[in-house]
């Protein structure tokens, strides 16, 4: 295929006109080349032909690498660019908790059976459903197969999406879902609780006994599949996701990383106090936990258990886990966080990336440069603040950015 023609076609497509035949030919050839892999995965020729006939790429998706154009980044997800007070809005929590309480009654039998079989509380899987698709009321905007095909063709993670595309064909061929119902996010996650096709095969459960793992239309299947995913990632029955605590004045926010883990009773002896006088049993105090301060020294603090990090594998964001865990709690208790969120502001992603690059250069940070102020970034910022003689609050502020900019 002529490279110039492809570039022109892409630009034309992105400007609103249809892509050229040349551009479509390249995509069509790529899809056709996947037949041997699809056949090996168990996809029939009839399914392959029917589902790929007329399939076109969507060059307006994010996270693509298009010839002749700057690579597009993934869109800024709210949990990574909003401050906690904005992401964890009390009005949203109240609305979803009230709906969750109604759904707890409606699906009482299924939720009790899920908890008995998997050891995951019904409120946790309901909270995941609520966060992911607003209990199914949010209509996913994309044709899932088209998304996966496009990402496999010109996405940043071609190999991963190549596999996901083939598994999506397999799902369609097995009749688990109709093509029109396989709606997805821009990243290809589908169903009530947002699974990629590979996750469907790893964790999908036929819980209603109709012979299909239907995460699109069956609430019992979708919630049981979410529970199975948590179990497969290490969920521990009977263990809370986290405990909100008040940190002592001398707490070191740089210790708020997963690598610093000790029994909860050690944190309590160091001056961390469960909020509202909550009494923890001996078994709870023996649980290993890490410190989480989502806004550095500002706002609430938490002692996070193993199950906190299991939920985090569903979505790698502290705010996502806090939302799911807190929403789960609010379905059985009306109490908001005991400590209010602060009025902190969030720096631009590019500024946080600049901080991460500098912290990497000086040996304080060894994780991804992604512009997201997660646990490790906040701890590294705190270490930098110590070395620079700044106030140690483990938060990416304008003051820290100015200091880092002057030091470069």
Which pLDDT does position 10 carry in this prediction?
52
In a domain, 388, yes or no: yes
| Residue where one domain finishes, among candidates 279, 304, 329 | 304
Which pLDDT does position 2 carry in this prediction?
44
| Residue where one domain finishes, among candidates 250, 283, 304 | 304
pLDDT > 90 in the chain, percent:
82
Which pLDDT does position 345 carry in this prediction?
81
Q: What band does 72 get if pLDDT is binned at 50, 70 and 90?
A: low
142-143/183-184 β-pairing: antiparallel
Q: What average pLDDT does the chain have?
A: 91
Mean pLDDT, residues 71-97 taken together = 76
In a domain, 268, yes or no: yes
Q: Are residues 251 and 388 in the same domain?
A: no
Q: What band does 1 get if pLDDT is binned at 50, 70 and 90?
A: very low
The domain spanning residue 359 has which CATH number? 1.10.101
In a domain, 334, yes or no: no
pLDDT tens column, 344-365: 787 888 899 999 999 999 999 9
Interatomic CA distance for residues 76 and 80, integer angstroms: 7
What is the distance between the terminal CA atoms of the chain, rounded to a whole angstrom? Answer: 45
In a domain, 64, yes or no: yes
Domains: count for the chain: 3
In a domain, 272, yes or no: yes
Q: Are residues 8 and 66 in the same domain?
A: yes
Q: Are residues 52 and 147 in the same domain?
A: yes
Q: What domain range is 295 assigned to?
A: 242-304
Q: How many CB atoms lie within 10 A of CB 299?
A: 20
Count the residues in the chain.
Answer: 408
Q: Are residues 21 and 170 in the same domain?
A: yes
Interatomic CA distance for residues 354 and 351, integer angstroms: 5
**pTM for the complete prediction?**
0.90
For 296, the 3-state DSSP assignment is strand
Q: Are residues 170 and 33 in the same domain?
A: yes
Q: Are residues 55 and 151 in the same domain?
A: yes
> Phi/psi of residue 120, each to 5°?
-105, 125
Structure tokens, 283: 């078994």
Q: In the predicted model, is pLDDT for residue 20 greater than 80?
A: no
Q: Are residues 280 and 370 in the same domain?
A: no
Specify whether the CB–CB gap between 366 and 377 falls below 8 A: no
Q: Are residues 254 and 151 in the same domain?
A: no
Q: What band does 137 get if pLDDT is binned at 50, 70 and 90?
A: very high
Which pLDDT does position 83 carry in this prediction?
83
Q: Are residues 299 and 354 in the same domain?
A: no
Q: Are residues 297 and 354 in the same domain?
A: no
Which pLDDT does position 229 carry in this prediction?
98
> Which 8-state DSSP code applies to residue 268?
H
- For residue 363, the Cα-to-chain-centroid distance in whole angstroms is 28
Q: Are residues 162 and 294 in the same domain?
A: no
In a domain, 49, yes or no: yes
Q: Are residues 148 and 295 in the same domain?
A: no
Helices (H), 313-374: 318-330, 349-361
């Amino acid at each position: 295929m002529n490279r110039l023609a492809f570039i022109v076609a892409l630009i034309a497509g992105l400007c609103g006109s249809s892509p050229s035949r040349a551009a479509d030919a390249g995509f069509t050839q790529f899809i056709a080349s996947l037949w041997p892999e699809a056949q090996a995965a168990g996809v029939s020729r009839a399914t392959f032909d029917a589902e790929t006939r007329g399939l076109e790429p969507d060059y307006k998706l994010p996270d693509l690498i298009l010839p002749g154009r700057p690579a597009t980044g993934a869109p800024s997800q709210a949990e990574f660019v909003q401050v906690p007070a904005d992401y964890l809005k009390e009005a949203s929590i109240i609305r979803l908790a009230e709906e969750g309480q109604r759904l707890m009654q409606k699906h009482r039998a299924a939720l009790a059976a899920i908890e008995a079989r998997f050891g995951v509380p019904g409120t946790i899987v309901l909270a995941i459903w609520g966060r992911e698709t607003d209990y199914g009321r949010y209509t996913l905007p994309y044709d899932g197969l088209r998304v996966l095909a496009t990402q496999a063709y010109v996405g940043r993670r071609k190999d991963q999406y190549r596999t996901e595309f083939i598994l999506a064909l397999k799902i369609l061929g097995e009749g688990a879902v109709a093509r029109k119902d396989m709606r997805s996010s821009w990243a290809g996650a589908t169903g009530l609780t947002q699974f990629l096709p590979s996750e469907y095969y790893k964790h999908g459960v036929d819980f209603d006994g109709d012979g299909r793992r239907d995460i699109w239309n069956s609430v019992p299947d979708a919630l049981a599949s979410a529970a199975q995913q948590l179990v497969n990632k290490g969920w521990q029955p009977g263990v809370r996701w986290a405990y909100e605590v008040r940190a002592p004045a001398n707490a070191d926010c740089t210790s708020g990383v997963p690598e610093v883990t000790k029994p909860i009773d050690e944190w309590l002896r160091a001056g961390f106090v469960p909020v509202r006088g909550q009494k923890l049993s001996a078994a709870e105090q023996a649980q290993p936990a890490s410190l989480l301060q989502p806004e550095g020294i500002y706002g609430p603090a938490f002692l996070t258990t193993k199950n906190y990090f299991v939920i985090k594998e569903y979505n790698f964001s502290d705010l996502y886990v806090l939302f799911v865990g807190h929403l789960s709690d609010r379905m059985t208790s009306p109490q908001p966080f005991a400590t209010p969120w602060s009025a902190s502001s969030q720096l631009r992603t590019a500024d946080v990336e600049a901080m991460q690059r500098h912290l990497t250069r000086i040996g304080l940070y060894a994780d991804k440069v992604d512009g997201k102020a997660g646990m490790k970034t906040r701890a590294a910022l705190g270490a930098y603040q110590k070395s620079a003689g700044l106030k140690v609050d483990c938060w990416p502020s304008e003051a820290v950015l100015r200091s880092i900019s002057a030091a470069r």
